[in-house]
Amino acid sequence: MTRFLGYGRQTIDDIDIQAVVDVLKSDFLTQGPAVTAFEKSIADLTGAKYVVAVANGTAALHIACLAAGLKDGDVGVTQPVTFCASANAITYCGARADLVDIDPETMTMSVDGLTAYLADHPECKVVIPVSYGGLSSSNAALRKAAGDRIIIEDASHSVGAIGEDGNMVGTGYADMYTFSFHPVKPITTGEGGAVATDDPDLYKALQLLRSHGIEREPGLLQNTEDAGKPWYHEQQVLGFNYRLCDIQAALGTAQMSRLPAFIARRREIAIFYDREFAGMNHVRLVQARPDQRDRSGHHLYTIRIDYDAVGKPREQVMKELAERQVGSQVHYIPVHRMPYHAPRFEGRSFPESDAYYAETLTLPCFPTLTDDEAAQVVAAVRGVLGS
């Protein structure tokens, strides 16, 4: 094998490079037309009414939580198997980040778990399920369990994927959907993120929070005496500078035009892997039901390995794969095991998340992975596991 294969990798071609160069030669590097065009490209693909592009996926989660009204002393809930940002966003608002275990069939928040949790914690205000690996959690049962609480889907893995309700991720059962455009994610802007919503009030709040809380539209100003004067604007709430710049946004629009093709290629690789790994000893597939493969964005390709039965600890398996040029990773160390969050979860257990953490391994899956490389990944796993 000639190149080392990471678990994920961006796809950049001449269209992307030209789009960035065009912005660099234009009048606006930030706060120009490229951001609006990027937001429109996301709205067009997902069907969401409104999209607010921001500096990264964590900022998207933060302003979504604030727009949901989360504040000091409140409680928000997410799932243990996620990147820590899903919980941190709740904490940034001064609220307590709590957890509900996953459903191992879907890897998103367990509906039964949420129902039981909310019966004990009716004060919980915001629910953040994660579309792990690109498989959206969108389902009517979760909506019903959440009642009239705000649902924010952490859709960092799943822009371009389809929800269980048949909608593109970005519109449907949740009040807001947050995306990340980090280079390993489905499309990239270097760093970047966005929030999608169908709700005009949430949209207005998100726009304010993205840019210092400053309002410029004359009709929406509180100080009517100065409204309409050419310099006049108002800071109405405490917002942030979470803006995406035009250079990043132009890259994003170029990437969005190829997102369906990126996902189609990821899907081919995932289905090839499913077939190859299905019969291997000590290996279990994840999110591999045909109906799941049909709608997922295939952001992460993971398998569950019984390392005890194999007779090698995970670190040894990862090392031997790396010697064969195959990178691997673990997604994720559960939130309740992070030293920062752990003290709040002493004495509580999340058995499905812990079992998944003990077994999971993420293997290379990205649009430019070739058929030969995918076959080499399979051969390397077979060799290392002795299956």
Ligand X SMILES: *Cc1c(COP(=O)(O)O)cnc(C)c1O
Q: Cβ of residue 372: shortest distance to ligand X, in angstroms?
A: 28
Q: Which helix (H) or strand (E) holds 375?
A: helix 371-385
- Candidates 20, 111, 130, 361: give the one binding ligand X (CB under 6 A): 130
Number of residues counted as binding ligand X (CB under 6 A): 14
Q: Cβ of residue 130: shortest distance to ligand X, in angstroms?
A: 5
Residue 180, interface with ligand X (CB under 6 A)?
yes
**Identity of the residue, 360 or 376, whose beta carbon is nearer to ligand X in the bound complex:** 360
Between CA 187 and CA 172 the distance in angstroms is 21
Residue nearest to ligand X (CB): 57
Q: Which stretch binds ligand X (CB under 6 A): 64-72, 154-162, 215-223, 347-355?
A: 154-162
The CA distances from residue 85 to 78, 91, 145, 341, in Å, are: 10, 9, 24, 12
User: Which is nearest to 274 in space by CA: 265, 264, 284?
Assistant: 284
**Identity of the residue, 180 or 376, whose beta carbon is nearer to ligand X in the bound complex:** 180
Instruction: Look at residue 342 and give its three-state secondary structure.
Output: helix
String marking each residue 25-64 x if it binds ligand X according to CB under 6 A: -------------------------------xxx------
Between CA 164 and CA 145 the distance in angstroms is 16
**Identity of the residue, 117 or 332, whose beta carbon is nearer to ligand X in the bound complex:** 332
Residues near 128 by Cβ (< 8 Å), separated by ≥ 6?
A: 61, 65, 76, 77, 78, 79, 86, 89, 90, 151, 152, 153, 154
**Identity of the residue, 8 or 113, whose beta carbon is nearer to ligand X in the bound complex:** 8
User: Which is nearest to 271 in space by CA: 168, 374, 360?
Assistant: 374
Residue 83, interface with ligand X (CB under 6 A)?
yes
Residue 302, interface with ligand X (CB under 6 A)?
no
The token pair that represents 146 in the structure block: 């959440």
Residue 158, interface with ligand X (CB under 6 A)?
no
Between CA 266 and CA 146 the distance in angstroms is 32
Residue 86, interface with ligand X (CB under 6 A)?
yes
User: Which is nearest to 134 in space by CA: 163, 110, 112, 114?
Assistant: 163
Which positions from 228 through 267 interact with ligand X, judged by CB under 6 A? none
- Candidates 19, 23, 85, 244: give the one binding ligand X (CB under 6 A): 85
Interface residue list for ligand X (CB under 6 A): 56-58, 82-83, 85-86, 130, 154, 156-157, 180, 182, 193
